[in-house]
């Protein structure tokens, strides 16, 4: 009897601890962003007078957003970011899946070596490499050149290759052979038979790579220095580091604006994002 009671108390206690910790975790995760949202709706006077945690007088005060949109030139920033995103995703997925097709389907001299080259490349810290990549980009005259930046970002990363290879491994080879028997070329096998089957893997890579490219700040800042023309969503916020550095009502509005697309994608494709991350990690 007593034992039973003890067990019950223990169970309740554990439930309390469990939910309390979850609530705390969620609170800490959203607090910095929520305060940003609150501040984004405050007029300059209100911002100066009230505590940051006080709710704004009106939730329909949008002047900070319009101001931030203009100040940071976000119309252009979104246009540039979309161009970059679409091109990079298209080429990176095409070349990445082609490479994975070759590495998975054909045995040839150097197959393992190529895999290892990509693996080793992922060990090199990106920031360190930019010292000399910058020089190469400079010699190619690709600084302040969107096309050049797109090419740079298209470089295949080891994670997307592994996701594609994993996927190819699960597609039976008899499918290829049947297509070849029917007179298909190896190119045809890839484009007509395998690529359409690859859709789930493509979505995964698209999300992983898309988030990375959209959020890329350091490289965008380094290679697209002319902020009047080549600003991206991530670098558009750079504007606020200057004389506007203390007017957080504008800054927060800007931050929220850049976050909206990510938030939308997250809400719409939560499942794919989670499964994509999980797949990407089991790279062996």
Q: How far is the CB of 83 from another protein (least distance, A)?
A: 17
Please report, for residues 20, 99, 159, 204, the alpha-carbon distance to residue 278 in angstroms, rounded to integers and kept in the order given: 27, 22, 11, 10
Query: CA 66, 72, 76, 81 torsion: positive or negative?
Result: negative
The CA-based dihedral angle spanning residues 114, 115, 120, 125, taken in that order and rounded to the nearest 10 degrees: 100
x/- letters, 246..275, toward another protein (CB under 8 A): --x--xx-xx--xx--xx-xx---x---xx
Binds another protein (CB under 8 A): choice among 13, 57, 70, 155: 155
The residue written with tokens 């930046």 in the block is: 149
Cβ 168 vs Cβ 104: under 8 Å: yes
202 binds another protein (CB under 8 A): no
User: Can you tell me whether residue 55 is helix, strand or coil?
Assistant: coil
* Total binding residues toward another protein, as defined by CB under 8 A: 92
Binding flag, residue 219, another protein (CB under 8 A): no
Angle between helical axes of 248-268 and 199-215 (0-180°, round to 10): 170
Per CB under 8 A, does 37 bind another protein?
A: no
Closer residue to another protein, CB minimum distance, 4 or 172 = 172
Asked whether 148 and 230 are in contact (CB, 8 A), the reply is no
> Does residue 99 belong to the site contacting another protein (CB under 8 A)?
yes
Stretch that binds another protein, among 24-32, 59-67, 72-80, 197-205 (CB under 8 A): 24-32
Sign of CA dihedral 42, 43, 45, 46: negative
> Between residues 1 and 282, which has the closer beta carbon with respect to another protein?
282
Chain residues 171-200 in contact with another protein, contact rule CB under 8 A: 172, 180, 185-187, 190
Q: Does 135 bind another protein (CB under 8 A)?
A: yes
The reply on whether position 30 binds another protein by CB under 8 A is: yes
* Binding status of residue 166 toward another protein by CB under 8 A: yes
Between 129 and 147, CB nearer to another protein: 129
Can you tell me which residue has the tokens 């295949």? Answer: 156
| Binding status of residue 51 toward another protein by CB under 8 A | yes
């Amino acid at each position: 009897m007593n034992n039973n009671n003890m067990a019950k108390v223990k169970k309740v206690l554990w439930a309390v601890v469990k939910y309390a910790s979850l609530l705390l975790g969620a609170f800490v995760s959203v607090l910095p962003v929520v305060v940003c949202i609150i501040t984004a709706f405050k007029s300059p006077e209100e911002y100066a007078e009230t505590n940051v945690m006080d709710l704004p007088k009106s939730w329909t005060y949008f002047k900070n957003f319009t101001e931030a949109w203009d100040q940071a030139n976000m119309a252009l920033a979104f246009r540039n970011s979309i161009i970059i995103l679409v091109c990079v995703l298209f080429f990176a997925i095409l070349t990445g899946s082609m490479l994975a097709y070759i590495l998975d389907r054909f045995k040839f001299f150097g197959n393992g070596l190529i895999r290892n080259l990509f693996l080793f490349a992922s060990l090199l810290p990106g920031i360190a490499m930019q010292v000399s990549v910058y020089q190469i980009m400079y010699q190619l005259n690709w600084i302040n050149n969107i096309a050049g930046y797109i090419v740079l970002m298209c470089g295949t990363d080891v994670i997307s290759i592994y996701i594609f290879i994993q996927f190819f491994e699960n597609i039976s080879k008899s499918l290829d052979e049947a297509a070849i028997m029917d007179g298909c070329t190896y190119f045809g096998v890839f484009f007509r038979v395998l690529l359409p089957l690859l859709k789930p893997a493509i979505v995964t890579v698209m999300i992983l790579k898309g988030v990375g490219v959209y959020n890329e700040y350091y490289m965008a800042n380094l290679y697209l220095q002319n902020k009047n023309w080549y600003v991206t969503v991530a670098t558009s916020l750079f504007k606020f580091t200057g004389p506007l550095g203390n007017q957080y009502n504008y800054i927060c509005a800007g931050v929220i604006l850049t976050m909206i697309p990510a938030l939308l994608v997250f809400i719409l494709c939560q499942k794919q994002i989670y499964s994509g991350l999980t797949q990407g990690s089991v790279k062996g």
